[in-house]
């Protein structure tokens, strides 16, 4: 897109603040420094700026909690914001904070929420990036000049203070499948392989790390030649001793060729994550997750583990199309099978803006009244369920976050799992395979104790979007001018009658035919 050159500043060295915006599902201002994976967007965006002419700082609200230090907001000449779809409101908060302390600051925003709501985003931010990281180059050149743009984009891993000994890299972008609930389906971007030389440069820039996580949406993809080239490179770098092991996300078709697991294992792979979502083939077909239907998922998981690679996955509790008891039976069948690892997480389906699942939910009037964009976090009820809402609230209060009431069975399962795979997996891998479940059990205990330890931290949750109280961060951290009041009003998805809210009508989310159908 064309950008008009603007010469706002005369100072040679520009100050850039890049923030990953985040709302925690607990609705508390807490840090998730141990969460895997961590946010990587800021370090890739930082690589756009020339180190000679720009001073860049990065901040992750996922790892460090909400950014509310008033002195920080007076510092930057440019604020760059990114985050998940439901974090748009948080971007507005930080925009208000920064503009209140520096009225000349340039605010640039990108990410899924901005791409889904282009016209809405254009009302609040100076520059809106609808493409990939590389689009920021055009913005920086237009605002400051070409000499403020790095000659080559390489992640600024030195600014990722929250990574610790872990490393992150990207070898591909997007996905070649089209699950109805996935934001990538909504954006409809073609699957891309990164140049093998660029992958090598990322690995070299990481330096010596304990482990590397590849943040690809689909590490496997549909180009076997490129896949084998990536594996060859990783085997070479791993054998050099630069890192102990690595993890990646693959789609289920990866397991159709048993040789693939052996190849990644020899290249240093310790963990593969794959989106199981459900073991019910009928449900999988309903969300167009056909890559999971052709194979016996249980058999694929067991074979992967017996080959020496941990299989990690999550489950989706689709209470809109399934009964809670049906989902619990599926969960208990996993607990009764020690050959299967327990899921790393459980979440509700999210009608992510722009996806086929979202438009279906809108047209079938499944969305509840007064749904906020912030509520689309997988832990809040935003759609009508088959079961009474009181039963669903109890289910969520007990923890979709995993296994409330099953703690002893979780421990027994972990013990039996470790015994079965003790000869196939290392001690570290066995710990990784069980850590998600243990963490969730500990998380549930901490939620029970938190009201006693921190009695003034916040009220009780309703778990229903229509009545769920806003996070504390919707109250400004310090005094602001009244012109920023709209920045702290939640972006609404539906109104009090359950109809699409005015916030979305002219946001760019609906084309004319879709808009005509939903307002009829």
- Which of 39-48, 100-109, 469-478, 508-517 is predicted least confidently? 508-517
Question: Which helix (H) or strand (E) is 167 found in, with range?
Answer: strand 166-169
Classify residue 49 as left (phi > 0), alpha (psi -120 to 50) or beta. Answer: beta
Q: Is 466 a residue whose pLDDT tops 50?
A: yes
CB-based contact 189:174 (threshold 8 Å): yes
Query: What residue spans of 270-377 are helical by DSSP H?
Result: 281-286, 297-306, 324-335, 356-363
Mean pLDDT is highest, among 247-261, 389-403, 425-439, for: 247-261
Q: Which of 48-52, 142-146, 169-173, 452-456 has the lowest average pLDDT?
A: 452-456
125: tokens are 């931010």
Q: Give the C-alpha separation, 213 to 166, whole Å.
A: 8
Whole-angstrom distance, CA of residue 484 vs CA of residue 480: 7
| pLDDT level of residue 22 (50, 70, 90 thresholds) | very high
> What pLDDT is attached to residue 11?
58
Asked whether 205 and 239 are in contact (CB, 8 A), the reply is no
- Residue 401's pLDDT is what? 47
Q: Is the pLDDT reported for residue 14 higher than 90?
A: yes
CA distance 290 to 296: 12
Quick one: pLDDT at residue 460?
A: 76
Q: Encode pLDDT of 315-326 as tens digits.
A: 999 999 999 999
Residue 213 bridge partners (DSSP): 168, 247
Domain 14-148 part of CATH 3.40.50.2300: yes
Instruction: Give the pLDDT confidence score for residue 453 in this predicted structure.
Output: 44
Judge whether residue 8 has pLDDT over 50.
Answer: no
**Would you mind telling me the total number of residues written for the chain in this entry?**
520
Residue 409: pLDDT over 80? yes
Residue range 487-519, pLDDT digits in tens: 999 999 999 999 999 988 888 888 766 666 666
Residue 443 has pLDDT above 60, yes or no: no
The Cα–Cα gap between 198 and 202 comes to 6
Predicted confidence (pLDDT) per residue in 203-225, tens digit? 999 999 999 999 999 999 999 99
pLDDT in tens, 74-85: 999 999 999 999
Predicted confidence at residue 452, as pLDDT, reads 45
Q: How far apart are CA 95 and CA 501, in angstroms?
A: 23
Mean per-residue pLDDT for 62-88?
96
Distance CA 338, CA 333 (A): 10
Stretch(es) of the chain classified as CATH 3.80.30.20: 165-449
pLDDT of residue 9: 47
- Burial 180-203, CB ≥16 within 10 A → b, else e: bbbbbbbeeeebebbeeeebebbb
In this predicted model, what pLDDT tens digit does every residue of 150-175 receive, in sequence order? 999 999 999 999 999 999 999 999 99
pTM of the model: 0.91
Q: Which ranges of 319-406 does DSSP label H, i.e. alpha helix?
A: 324-335, 356-363, 389-399
Residue 17 main-chain phi, psi, to 5 deg = -115, 125
Where residue 294 falls among pLDDT bands split at 50, 70, 90? confident
Residue 137 DSSP one-character state? H
Q: Which two tokens stand for residue 144?
A: 């400051």
Which residue spans of the chain are classified as CATH 3.40.50.2300? 14-148
Higher pLDDT, 10 or 144: 144
Domain 165-449, CATH: 3.80.30.20
Residue 516 confidence (pLDDT): 61
Cβ distance 315 to 277 under 8 Å? yes
Give CA–CA dist 121/28, Å, rounded. Answer: 26
For residues 38-59, give the mean pLDDT: 97
Give the Cα separation of 440 and 344 in Å (integer): 8
What pLDDT does 2 receive?
42
Mean pLDDT, rounded, for 22-38: 91
Tell me: the pLDDT tens digits for 230-274?
Answer: 999 999 999 999 999 999 999 999 999 999 999 999 999 999 999
Q: What pLDDT is recorded for position 508?
A: 80
The mean pLDDT value of the chain amounts to 90
Distance CA 77, CA 229 (A): 41
Looking at residue 486, what is its pLDDT? 95
pLDDT at 10 > cutoff 70: no
For residues 405-414, give the mean pLDDT.
81
């Amino acid at each position: 897109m064309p950008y008009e050159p603007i010469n706002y500043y005369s100072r040679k060295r520009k100050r850039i603040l890049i923030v990953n915006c985040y709302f925690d599902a607990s609705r508390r201002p807490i840090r998730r420094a141990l969460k895997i994976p961590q946010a990587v967007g800021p370090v890739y965006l930082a690589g756009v700026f020339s180190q000679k002419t720009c001073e860049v700082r990065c901040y992750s609200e996922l790892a460090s909690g909400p950014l509310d230090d008033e002195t920080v907001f007076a510092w930057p000449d440019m604020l760059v914001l990114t985050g998940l779809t439901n974090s748009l409101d948080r971007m507005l908060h930080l925009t208000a904070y920064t503009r209140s302390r520096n009225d000349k600051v340039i605010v640039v925003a990108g990410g899924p929420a901005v791409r889904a709501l282009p016209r809405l985003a254009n009302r609040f931010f100076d520059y809106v990036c609808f493409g990939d990281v590389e689009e920021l180059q055009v913005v920086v050149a237009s605002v400051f000049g070409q000499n403020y743009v790095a000659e080559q984009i390489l992640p600024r891993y030195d600014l990722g203070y929250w990574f610790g000994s872990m490393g992150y890299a990207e070898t591909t972008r997007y996905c070649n499948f089209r699950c109805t609930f996935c934001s990538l389906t909504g954006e409809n971007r073609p699957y891309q392989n990164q140049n093998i030389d660029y992958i090598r440069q990322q690995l070299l820039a990481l330096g010596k790390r304990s482990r590397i996580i590849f943040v690809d949406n689909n590490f496997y993809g549909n180009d076997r030649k490129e896949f084998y080239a990536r594996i060859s490179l990783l085997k070479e770098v791993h054998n050099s001793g630069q890192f102990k092991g690595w993890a990646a996300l693959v789609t289920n078709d990866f397991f159709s060729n048993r040789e693939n697991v052996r190849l990644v294992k020899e290249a240093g792979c310790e963990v593969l994550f794959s989106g199981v979502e459900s073991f019910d083939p009928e449900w999988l077909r309903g969300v167009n997750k056909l890559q999971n239907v052709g194979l016996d998922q249980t058999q694929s998981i067991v074979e992967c583990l017996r080959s020496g690679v941990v299989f990690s996955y999550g489950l989706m509790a689709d209470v809109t199309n399934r009964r809670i008891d049906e989902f619990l039976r599926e969960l208990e069948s996993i607990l009764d099978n020690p050959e299967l690892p327990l899921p790393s997480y459980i979440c509700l389906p999210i009608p992510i803006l722009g996806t086929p699942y979202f438009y279906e939910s809108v047209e079938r009037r499944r969305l509840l009244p007064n749904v906020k964009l912030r509520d689309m976090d997988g832990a809040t009820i935003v759609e009508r369920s088959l079961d009474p809402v009181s039963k669903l609230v109890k289910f969520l209060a007990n923890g979709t976050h995993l296994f409330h009431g099953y703690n002893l069975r979780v421990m027994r399962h972990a013990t039996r799992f470790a015994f079965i795979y003790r000869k196939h997996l290392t001690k570290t891998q066995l710990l990784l395979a069980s850590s998600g479940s243990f963490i969730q059990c500990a998380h549930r205990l901490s939620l029970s104790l938190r009201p006693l330890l921190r009695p003034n931290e916040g009220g009780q949750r309703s778990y229903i979007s229509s009545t769920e109280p806003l996070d504390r961060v919707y109250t400004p951290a310090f005094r602001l001018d009244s012109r920023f009041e709209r920045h702290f009003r939640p972006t609404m998805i539906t109104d009090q009658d359950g109809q699409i809210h005015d916030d979305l009508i002219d946001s760019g989310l609906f084309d004319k035919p879709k808009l005509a159908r939903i307002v009829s």
